[in-house]
Amino acid sequence: MKNKFPLVFISATSADLAEARKIVRDALLDMQCHPVVQEHFGTDQGNIANKERRNLKDCDAVIHIVGRVYGAEPSNKSSPRRSYTQLEYDNTINSKKPLFLFLASDKFYTDLQNLPSNWPVSEGTEEQQLQQAHYSRIKQDDRLWYEFSDLLELRSRIRCLRIKRPVYWLPWIATGLLAVISAVGIHLYARQTEDADHLRIGITKQAEEMQAARKLLEKLSNKLLSKDVSLTELSGKELYDIIMRSASHETGLPESEIQRILTQFANKTEEDKNATAETRALSLLARKLVLESFDPDEFESYVVTIKFSDWKPKFIVLRHTVRPRLTQRPNGMTKTHIMDMAEYFDRQGWSGGPHLYIDQNRIWVFNSLSAPGVHTRNWNKESFGVEMVGYYNTEPFDDRVRDNTVSAIASLCKATDISPNDIRFPRDHPAYQDMSGFLESAGATSPGRNVSKSDIISRVEKRLEELESHNHERQK
C-alpha cells in the first residue's frame, strides 16, 4: 500500500549538516510528510548509489541542503567527480521531481550549536573546490534557492513549504478541454446575442462550427497526451506553447481573446458549486494560462466585474516580495517573470498564490480574486494577499509602486466594503515573534521598514474619495 503522506528525500552531507538534517526531518514529520534520509536504508548490502536512485524514484519531492563538505563518493569515481549528495541533486534534476534547495551561509559555520560534535572535518583541496563549485553553480542557476544562517531559520523555511503527492491530470485535461473549446464556440456566438433565446438559436445554427471546435479539441488533446508527464511537470511556458498558441493558430483568434474566454470560463467554474472534477481541473489549467495585468483605471473596471458571493475577504494583507528586488526588475515584471512565479508555486504544491503582484508599471492578477490565495499563514482564508515587487527594508519605497498599490487596494476595498483600516502588514501577525509563518525571515518586517502603514491607509482613503467623486461625475 502506498504511503498516504508525501515521501520527501533529504539530501545532505552528514559531516557538517547532520543537525540540519535532523531539524528538517522533524519539521517534515510535523507537516505530516514522511522523511527519507540516508540512515534509513543503510549500507550493508548492494550498491549505495543504486539504492539512493531507487529511494529517489519512490519519493515525491527532494530537499537538497548544500554546505561546505563534499562528502563520500562512489568508489568508481565519475568524470567529472560527483559526491553522493551531488549525484542525488543530479538525479532529481533529471527526474523533474519538485526540488527545494537550501544553502548554508558562512554565518552558519560560526556557531558550533549548528554543527555536529565532531566538527570540523578535514577534506582535501580538490574536494573543497568541487563542493564550492557545486554551491556556486546552484546560486547562479535559475532555480529558486534559500540561504539559512542557523537551524531555527532552516526550520522556519522548511515549515513554509507545501509538499503534496503529485496528481496526474492529463486524462481530465483531455476531457476538460472539450469544455474549453465548447466555451470558445458558445462565447463566439453569445457575444452576438443579448438574451438566452438568441444564444440557443446561435448554438443550433453553428453546429458545424462546434464540430470544428471538437476537432480542435482532438488536436490539442493529442499534443498534451503525447507528453507522458503530469500537469505539475509542465512549466507555464510549456502549457502556453502547447495550448494557447495552438488554439490561436487553429481558431484564428488572437491570444488575448482566448485568454479572456478562458478567464470567463474559470470564473464561471468557480461560481458553479456543481462543476465536475474534470471541469475544475480545467479551471486550474485556465488559471495557469491566464495571468492578466492592468493599469490602475483598468484594474478598477476589472474588479467591479468580480462576484464575491461564495468568498468575501475581511481584510487585505500587504507584503513585499523580498526577491525579486526592485533593482532586479528596473523595467517592471514581464509575463515571463509572472509565469515563472506560477511555475514556482506549482513546484511548491501550493493551491494558489498572492492575489496581486504590483510593480512600478502594472497590477498583475496572479490568483483569482474570487477565491482564497496563498500568501500568509493563518490569514489566507479571510484576506486578499497583495505583494509589491521590492525589498523595502533596504530599498527606498518607490513612488510608482506605492501609487499602483494604493489604487489597487482602494479598488478592492470599494468592491468588497473592506475598510482601509483593515489593511494588515505581516509584521502584525501573531507568528511574528517566532517568524515560523513566513517564507523569508525578512518577511517578519514585511512589507519593509520603509513602508508606513498609516501613510498607506491615508492614501487609500484619499483614493476612495477620488473614485466616489468620479462615480458622481459619471452619474450626472
Q: If you classify domain 7-159 with CATH, what class do you get?
A: alpha beta
Asked if residues 104 and 67 have their Cβ atoms less than 8 Å apart, the reply is: yes
Residues of the chain with CATH 3.40.50: 7-159
Query: What is the model's pLDDT at position 451?
Result: 96
472 has pLDDT over 60: yes
Helices (H), 272-383: 277-289, 296-303, 335-348
Residue in this structure with the C-alpha cell 503530469, named with its chain if needed: 230
Query: What is the model's pLDDT at position 118?
Result: 86
Report the phi/psi class of residue 258: left, alpha or beta, with left for phi > 0 and alpha for psi in -120 to 50: alpha
Residue 215 has what DSSP assignment? Answer: H
**Three-class SS state of 34:** strand
Residue 260 exposed, middle or buried by CB count within 10 Å (0-12, 13-18, 19+): middle
Q: What is the pLDDT of residues 77-86, one digit of tens each?
A: 778 899 989 9
Rounded to the nearest integer, the mean pLDDT of the chain is: 75
Which amino acid, residue 379? W
The reply to whether omega before 80 is within 30° of 0 (cis) is yes
Range 292-475 classified under CATH 3.60.10.10: no
Q: What is the pLDDT of residues 279-311, one digit of tens each?
A: 555 555 555 555 668 899 888 988 887 778 778
Question: Where are any strands of DSSP class E within 106-236?
Answer: 145-148
Using alpha carbons, select from 318, 439, 445 the residue that is nearest to residue 388. Answer: 318
319 has pLDDT over 70: yes
Residues of the chain with CATH 3.40.80.10: 292-475
Q: What is the pLDDT of residues 28-41, one digit of tens each?
A: 887 778 888 865 43
Would you give the end-to-end CA distance of the chain in angstroms?
69
| Cell triple for 124 | 582535501
Give this prediction's pTM: 0.48
